[in-house]
Structure formats: C-alpha cells, structure tokens
Chain A
Amino acid sequence: MEKYIEIVDAIKTFGSVQALRGVNLTVKKGEVVLIIGPSGSGKSTLLRSVNRLERLNSGRILIDGESVTDPNSDIRHIREEVGMVFQSFNLFPHLSVLDNITLAPISVLKKHKDDAIEIAKTLLTKVGLSDKEKAWPEQLSGGQQQRVAIARALAMNPKVMLFDEPTSALDPEMIKEVLDVMTELAREGMTMLVVSHEMGFARAAAHRIIFMDAGQIIEEAPPETFFTSPREERTRTFLQHIL
C-alpha cells in the first residue's frame, strides 16, 4: 500500500514545553491509526499539525506527496481534502444542520447549491440524522452534534479524516452512536487518524495503535498485539490505568 501521510522528525514547542520531540509516522491509504497516550503527551498536537492548525518548529509532513509544512504550499487546498472532527464538535451555531454541512462545499468547493444539499442529505442519512436537517445545533444532543460534524467533514469528500478525541465530551450513552459511524467509515476504507481512548473502537476498527508519551512515539503495534503483549513498560503502566 502507498504511503499517504508521512510525518518526518516533527518537533513542536509551546514556549518552554516540548509537545513533539521528533515524531516519525507513516500512514498508508485506507489505514486506520489510533493514537493513545496520557494527556500532554502531544497526541492532539500531532493530529493538529497534520492540517497545520499547529505549525511545526521543524520537521516535515506530507499528505499524498504534498507538503503541509512548506510555508509556500497551498494549505487551503490540502485542508479541503483533510476532514477534521473536534472534541467539542464546533458546529456553527448560527447555521442550521443542513447549512453547517453545505457551507464549505458551496463556498470553498464552489459546488452548486442543489448538489451540495443532495450530498448533505445523503450524509445525514448515513449518520442516522436524516430528520434533523432543519434543526439548529443547540437543539441536538452531543452525540447528534458530533455526527453532524462528521457529516460536515465528509461533505468535502476528504481523502483522510482526523478525529481529535471525538467522544471525550460525550455522555457515555452517546459514545456508541458516534463510534458506530466511525467504524462504518473505517470499513469503507477511509484513511483515518484518530486520537481516542476508546478501546472498543480500537479493537473493532483500528489497524494500528500508536502509544505516545512526552512528545514521542513509544510503541506501535496492531491492536491485538498492542493490548495483549505491549513491549514497553510505560505502555503497560498506561494500559493498566485505562483498561
């Protein structure tokens, strides 16, 4: 399989804090990679660097051969192809569910309004919210909002999806509905980079698990190996805490 995302020697500091201390990671097309690690380990920073919401101090990130980190690259064009889902959903509260989904396809991709609406309706059906197109974000539960957020990202027809702790802000009973959508997406062959501690999702959908600590990748392995026989002591300690 071809390399799709390539992260080379990524270093990022916030003031005196070293968030990323030389991270190397390659994600293949269609691969689902789950990043776990204690808070402050740099996993979100790594994810946010992939579409340049954070700028690296040094190192390179390529998506499908295009450089994200090169200041001269057309980052907006790259972002069109990289969907992102946030912990706090970040739906646009002044727009209806349908407008949330169609805004970027219409204004960024210059899609015709009718086409954008049609795509949005298909996606809403896919995430199980076909009856909510006229609703306002604040009328939806957290799980519903997150599913709209996934639909909004998918409406750009991205080649890769980034998930930054998509279920951390959700009540337990809503986590499953979001994970189901993500699992379905993984089955369809979407390339996914997911920061999450959802072990059920890891087992069901992830091809590879990355364990990060203190700005570095400590260990990576397929889920079954990772959970049953982690090599590193730090990984074992962490797994004991979360399992």
Chain B
Amino acid sequence: MKGSPLTDRNSKSSDKTTINVTDGTLIPLKDEGSLLTSWNIAFFGAVLLLILLPILSPDPYLRILSFVPDGLIATFSVTLVSIFFALLIGLFAGLGRISQKLFVNRIATVYVEVIRGIPLLVQLFYIYYALGPLLKLKGPAAAILAMSICYGAYMAEIFRAGMQAIPRGQMEAALALGMSRSMAMRRIIIPQTIRIILPPIGNEFIALLKDSSLVSILAVSDLLRRGREYASTSFRYFESYTVIALIYLVMTLFFSRLVAMMEERLRHRGKVH
C-alpha cells in the first residue's frame, strides 16, 4: 500500500515483524556496500545499454533516442506539475482527515476512499472522456488534473499519518505557550511532519513518474507515446520499447537513490549540527 512505512509505525517496537515495501521503486540500502549492489547492477547496466546500443547499432537505436526527448520533457512536466498539485491537495485533505470538525473530516475521508478505490487509468478516462464535454480540457490538462486528484488522495494519507506520528504533547506544549491551533500547526506540527514524510513523498514522486506513462492514452506526447509513435511508423517494436523501458528505469533508479540519500540525511539531522 502506498505510504505504508508510516501507517505501520505501530509495529515499530517489534522491528522484526515490520515489512518495508514501497511501490515507488527499490530503495537502495546503505549497508549493501559492494559495487555489485542490485542498484548498481540495474542502474549502470541500463545506462551502459543506453550508450552501447546506439553505438553498436545506430539504426534504429540512435534514431529512437533522438526521437523521444520531446516525450521526456512532457513526462517530466506532467509529473512535476501533478506532484505539486497533489501535494497541495494532499496537505489540505490530510488536515481534513485529522480535523475534529465532523463535516470537514467526512469530506476528506470520502475523497480519499473514493479516489483510492478507483484505478488511475479509469480516472484518466473519466476526466478526459466522461467529463470531457463538461470540462473541455485538452489532453495534458486532463492528465494533470486526474493525476493530481488521484495522487492527492495518497498524499493525504501520508500527511495524515505523518501528522499523527507527532506526539500529542507537541501540540499541548504549543497551546500551553499561548499559540493558536493554526500557529502550532504551522510552526510545530507541520515542520516536524515534513521531516517524516519526505521519504514517502519521494516514493510517491517516483510512482507518479512511472504512472505518468498512462497519460499517453490521452493524446499527451509523453515518453511512452513518443516511443509508440516511432514503433508504429518503423515497425521496430522491440527496439523502441526496449529504449523506453531503459529510460524509465534509469530515471526511477536515479530518483530512488536521491530519496535514499535524503532519508539518510534526515535520519542524522540534529546530530550533525
């Protein structure tokens, strides 16, 4: 499940029974010391293939590689804009999930439950085709809207779990000092939450980067669609999709390493200062 490392926090006391599975991608562990870590093999293997294949066989690999960069830009734009709005939606929906106001709480919870219960692909179809006549959105806009709404729900759960992981005494201490609830949220609770939730958010980013390939069905010329375009005109299906797969792999592995490094730094924060 997305965000599970946080929701499982109750089992932390019995570390042996905790499983740590993310749907982002493999998070390299630091204690895997050698050069032949699974991450190194996968990442440098993929990079090597992306360099060697065009050299050894420029047709079609070099052609494919020069055909897809537009798609890369589209993939990143959709991912970055979507993650931005997903974070925004997630923050407010997450606050709603822990709100003591019943009405707000219900709305946020229903949103999270409904959205998480519908596959992203169906949501993309729904917003682009079903609501198309109503919203009149172009492909990229519909893609961003659908991805933001979908990932916002998962982000909401990360924010909720993160905020609930902060001991209650923190809020009480802030209130006892005369702070308002919202000031305590801004100055005490949310800054601590961000530290906890950065790694799972990094994971969501990677998951979203991968899921952004789904938007190729909405006439968005992302990486996958560019590959498909090349394949369907050249009939080089194997080569085209091999390159696309390798590019996705290099990107996700690269970001997973970044997330892992960030996690490592956060763990040591406070001690280094």
Interface residues of A (CB under 8 A from B): 51, 53, 76-77, 79-80, 82-84, 86, 88, 90-94, 96, 103-104, 107-109, 134, 136, 138-139, 149, 152-153, 156
Contacts and interface: CB of A to CB of B under 8 A. Distances in A.
Contact of A156 (B170, B172, B178, B195): B178
Interface string B56-82: 000000000000000000000000000
Given A103-B187, A136-B270, A136-B273, A90 B177 contact: no
Interface string B148-174: 000000000000000000010110111
A82 B178 CA distance: 9
Point out which of A86, A88, A93, A134 has the most chain B C-beta atoms below 10 A from its C-beta.
A93
Q: Closest 5 A-B residue pairs measured CB to CB?
A: A90-B173, A80-B178, A104-B177, A90-B169, A84-B176
User: Dominant SS at the B interface?
Assistant: helix
A129 B187 CA distance: 24
Contact of A92 (B170, B175, B178): B170
Contact of A86 (B169, B178, B271): B169
Nearest to B193: A94
29 contacts: A76-B179, A79-B176, A79-B178, A84-B176, A86-B172, A90-B167, A90-B169, A90-B173, A91-B173, A92-B170, A92-B173, A92-B188, A92-B192, A93-B192, A93-B270, A94-B195, A107-B179, A107-B187, A108-B177, A108-B178, A134-B273, A136-B270, A136-B271, A136-B273, A138-B271, A139-B271, A152-B177, A153-B176, A156-B178
A53 B172 contact: yes
A156 B191 contact: no
B187 A51 contact: no
Interface string B193-204: 001000000000
B178 A88 contact: no
B183 interface: yes
Contacts of B37: none
B173 A76 contact: no
Contact of A77 (B176, B178, B183): B178
Contacts of B273: 96, 134, 136
A197 B192 CA distance: 33
B177 A156 contact: yes
Contacts of B175: 53, 79
A76 B178 contact: yes
Contacts of B192: 92-94
B177 A138 contact: no
Contacts of A138: 270-271
Given A90-B167, A103-B187, A139-B270, A76 B172 contact: no
Contacts of A84: 173, 176
A90 B170 contact: yes
Nearest to A155: B177
